Chain A
């Protein structure tokens, strides 16, 4: 198990996201209701960074075509996206946010 420190908590406000590097992979880190979640960084439908999407009600909308994913589960919620996102475990220690390296999963 390899946990990678990717951010500190104050870097994101609620309903914000950023792309972080986890062992060479772009991962989207989200803050929702003061909890942190991580998914694959790219939309499953087109070449778009989900961290540039629109976050609301626990979902992220892709900035290109408004496909929507549930951030907690990765589930594809509406067309045009049909393939779920992979999610990645996140843990918080103090102000430090860690994501489990996808390689270790």
Chain B
């Protein structure tokens, strides 16, 4: 039995960044990383984008080769952790191997929500979480198939654009009557919708799906309230569930909405167990309850926070949530968190291909949305960090230099106090 000092369960983005942050922070003990997949940690954002469409698969490694070459991070990949015993401070793997720890970091990620009628093992049914998932869909897209995408969220729509780029004909089913209406102001949602239709996608919004049936010959029939649709491939993209069962079974606190409950230090209800990334739920400023945040940035930031907490050094200042999605040739970014009661102001016209929204409550910028305007959103980020009321009139004027405007506000000149 080995006795690693830090045992990281999971080998994705958060796990890799945490391991590196521990070493960069001077940690001298052992680091063992246990991963279910047979890969070194890799970046997942390209799976629904470049991996599907690029002529050559892009490099996806989270950590450069030099880091692995140092040999001070042990990676047990292809290994599934099946039991966490916080009293004995050990993890048991599916192989029966037991690993002891001084501190444990859960970076177990999430699992795509599944439809019983779309089994993952079916040759023409697809989910999207792993590199294997993406490679399999990529191969399928080369036949320019008819594709049904179940779920019109960020992931489903990225896949829709990629599939169309590859020459597939695409139908998107979405239960809601508008796209991404929890995240985008209505005019941004409308722009996204018309862009997809113009690119050739068929959108079935407000759709209810009756059943999914395999037909003789390999095609798949979707029964809908507007008739049957036969397709070659089905992609299910209806959200992610946190992999929190290891923690749950170990008796650690789990948030009401799922996810390993962590405090501001990314510590779980056991003082020697930390958690980071998609598997967690955490209380955030201005939010009524702990929430899950499935994003690349959150995986990185929580990993650095957990590493700092394990090292006993001050944690990094929590960043304002930031998210990007590449929708075909368009880049959409969001800063902060949406809420139903925000008022949105828009600068620029989506029809021109570039626009920026500030969602505010009483003049306090809380949610920024950028359509091909990432640098502009970046320039006004300090306003979202401060959470102070701002005179927003100048934001709407074309003549306003946003960076200068944000600086002026930071200097206190335009803040309403």
A residues near B331, Cβ cutoff 8 Å: 48, 63-64
Q: Per a CB cutoff under 8 Å, which of B59, B64, B324, B379 touches A64? A: B324
Q: A82 CA to B374 CA in the complex, in Å?
A: 20
A residues near B374, Cβ cutoff 8 Å: 54, 62-64, 66
B residues near A63, Cβ cutoff 8 Å: 331, 373-375, 378
Q: A64 CA to B377 CA in the complex, in Å?
A: 11
B residues near A80, Cβ cutoff 8 Å: 43, 45, 296
B residues near A61, Cβ cutoff 8 Å: 375, 378
> Assuming the A-B contacts A64-B324, A65-B324, are A79 and B300 also in contact, with contact meaning beta carbons closer than 8 angstroms in the complex?
yes
Q: A68 CA to B59 CA in the complex, in Å?
A: 18
Q: B296: nearest residue on chain A (CB-CB)?
A: A80
Q: A66 CA to B378 CA in the complex, in Å?
A: 9
Is B183 an interface position by the 8 A CB rule?
Answer: no
B residues near A52, Cβ cutoff 8 Å: 375
B residues near A54, Cβ cutoff 8 Å: 374-375, 378-379
Q: A53 CA to B62 CA in the complex, in Å?
A: 23
Q: Per a CB cutoff under 8 Å, which of B59, B62, B324, B379 touches A79? A: B62
Within residues 51 to 95 of chain A, which ones have a CB less than 8 A from any CB in chain B?
52-54, 61-66, 79-80, 82
CB proximity of A28 to chain B, nearest CB, Å: 13
CB proximity of A54 to chain B, nearest CB, Å: 4
What sequence of 0s and 1s flags, for each residue 361-379 of chain B, a beta carbon within 8 Å of any chain A beta carbon?
Answer: 0000000000001110011
Q: A64: nearest residue on chain B (CB-CB)?
A: B331
A residues near B296, Cβ cutoff 8 Å: 80
Is B322 an interface position by the 8 A CB rule?
Answer: yes
B324 near A53: Cβ-Cβ < 8 Å:
no
B322 near A66: Cβ-Cβ < 8 Å:
yes
A residues near B61, Cβ cutoff 8 Å: 82
Q: B378: nearest residue on chain A (CB-CB)?
A: A54
Q: A61 CA to B324 CA in the complex, in Å?
A: 14
CB proximity of B332 to chain A, nearest CB, Å: 10
Q: B372: nearest residue on chain A (CB-CB)?
A: A63
Is B174 an interface position by the 8 A CB rule?
Answer: no
Q: A65 CA to B331 CA in the complex, in Å?
A: 9
Within residues 38 to 55 of chain A, which ones have a CB less than 8 A from any CB in chain B?
46, 48, 52-54
Q: A64 CA to B376 CA in the complex, in Å?
A: 11
> Assuming the A-B contacts A80-B45, A82-B59, A82-B64, are A64 and B378 also in contact, with contact meaning beta carbons closer than 8 angstroms in the complex?
no
CB proximity of B375 to chain A, nearest CB, Å: 4
Within residues 12 to 38 of chain A, which ones have a CB less than 8 A from any CB in chain B?
none
A residues near B300, Cβ cutoff 8 Å: 79
A residues near B294, Cβ cutoff 8 Å: none
Q: A64-B331, A79-B300, A80-B296 are in contact. List 6 more A-B contacts (CB 8 A).
A: A52-B375, A54-B379, A61-B375, A63-B331, A64-B324, A65-B324
6 closest residue pairs by CB, A with B: A63-B374, A54-B378, A63-B375, A54-B375, A64-B331, A53-B375
Chain B residues within CB distance 8 Å of chain A: 17, 43, 45, 50, 59, 61-62, 64, 296, 300, 322, 324, 326, 331, 373-375, 378-379
Cβ contacts A to B, 30 pairs, < 8 Å: A46-B50, A46-B326, A48-B331, A52-B375, A53-B375, A54-B374, A54-B378, A54-B379, A61-B378, A62-B374, A63-B331, A63-B374, A63-B375, A63-B378, A64-B324, A64-B326, A64-B331, A64-B374, A65-B45, A65-B324, A66-B322, A66-B374, A66-B378, A79-B17, A79-B62, A79-B300, A80-B45, A80-B296, A82-B59, A82-B61
